[in-house]
Amino acid sequence: MKSLISIRDIRKSFNGGELYGNLNLEIEAGKITSIFGPNGSGKSTLLNILAGIVRHDGGIFTIDGFDHREFSYIFQNYRDSLLPWRTNFENLALPLEFQGKSREFIAQRIDELQKLFEFDCDWERYPYELSGGQQQILAFLRALITRPKLLFVDEPFSALDYGNNLKLRKHLQAYFLAYRPTIVLITHNIEEAVHLSDRIVVFGSKPAKVIASVDNPLAFPRNIDTLKSEAFHRTKDAVLNAFLKTETI
């Protein structure tokens, strides 16, 4: 196992309140790792620390060969990260514009991605004219437009209906198999976590810590039949049981 991200004894407090005492986690290269855990367990904060947006108080982490041009991060509040003064097309083009890519290159990338994800909208209109779910897909596609080697996604499907959610999971797998990025996915949906990931890391809160790590050996691509399979349910139950160890519901 080759880990891309190593997290060792990371400590973090907010206003005197300790969030993590010592957090340890390894994230493998070229795999999809899900983080599953309750509200306030420090999932987003962990990604923020790794992305360099939030400072940690102690411990170290390393990300092999980290390069901003090969890294994307979709925030939990994806809506606030779309630019309302840019059209949908221009929003999607933004990361490539920053990298100084040509118009033709950008147009081609957008075309490819749009086809791969079967996503269409009025490209000359603005994000505030899209539905919440469409905005979320747009923000998601914007993160993929650079074909990042490392992708952080925080609740990327939270605003989607079940059908669109399944559709996007399918397309994301196709994308993943084509480009093999390392993906860290935060989700509140066990089914989504098990469907998409090689490994599910279960977080507990107060204090936040990793309480379990469940490997998921199912082969990609995983389709609707996989969702109904016994192997799928075994993994799902394992995650649920780990979760129930700390949560009383």
The window from 71-79, 93-101, 173-181, 224-232 that contacts Mg ion (CB under 5 A) reads 71-79
| Residue 10 main-chain phi, psi, to 5 deg | -70, 130
Among 126, 158, 212, 213, binds another protein (CB under 8 A): 126
The window from 69-77, 108-116, 189-197, 229-237 that contacts another protein (CB under 8 A) reads 69-77
Contacts with ligand ATP by CB under 6 A: the residue count is 12
Closest CB to ligand ATP among 47 and 82? Answer: 47
Closest CB to ligand ATP among 46 and 93? Answer: 46
How far is residue 113's CA from residue 45's CA, in Å, rounded to a whole number? 29
How far is residue 240's CA from residue 36's CA, in Å, rounded to a whole number? 10
111 binds another protein per the rule CB under 8 A: no
Name residue 15's amino acid. Answer: N
95 binds another protein per the rule CB under 8 A: yes
How far is residue 67's CA from residue 152's CA, in Å, rounded to a whole number? 14
Closest CB to another protein among 58 and 84? Answer: 84
200 binds ligand ATP per the rule CB under 6 A: no
Contact set with another protein (CB under 8 A): 51, 53, 68-69, 71-73, 75, 77, 80-81, 83-85, 94-95, 97-99, 126, 128, 146
